[in-house]
Amino acid sequence: MKCPFCSNDNTRVIDSRPADDNYSIRRRRLCDECGKRFTTYEKVETIPLIVIKKDDNREQYDRAKLEAGVLRACHKRPVSVKQISQLIDDVEVEIFNREEKEIPSNVIGEMVMDKLKDIDAVAYVRFASVYREFKDVNTFMNELKKMLNQ
């Protein structure tokens, strides 16, 4: 592992433990050259997952895109980064437990909305408005009414 500070190849692991999500390993490393410490995370490589988009295009699953959408929905809301990360971890576990090579984007969107609903109602409505492509105020109001009735 290269040191991010001096780019030296000689680094060593000084501590190793499961990460908070229990699906990866957190390693503390020490650079033999500059003496600085840094952290790396090791994750099991999974089978490539293809997402089938609404227009039937296919693209490889990208956690960063999912995270960006959830972050946008939670902007200026009392939702912590830890909650967002946990939500995405939970969705990924559900997705990969299906053991399918392709998954429609609407299935992922429904999983996210289901979990967001429990975390923050406003973030849920924001995500739903983009995901379900609300065309007008009536569609928006119908979704709010559904949520209030639950």
Average model confidence (pLDDT) across the chain: 88
Is pLDDT above 80 for 23? no
In this prediction, residue 126 carries a pLDDT of 87
Question: How do the domains of the chain map onto residue ranges?
Answer: 11-43, 50-149
Per DSSP bridges, beta strands 37-43 and 102-104 are unpaired
In the sheet that 58-60 helps form, which strands lie side by side, from edge to edge? 58-60, 50-52, 102-104
pLDDT digits (tens, 9 = 90+) for 44-57: 766 688 999 989 99
Rounded Cα distance between 144 and 138, Å, is: 10
pTM for this model (two decimals) = 0.63
Is pLDDT above 70 for 132? yes
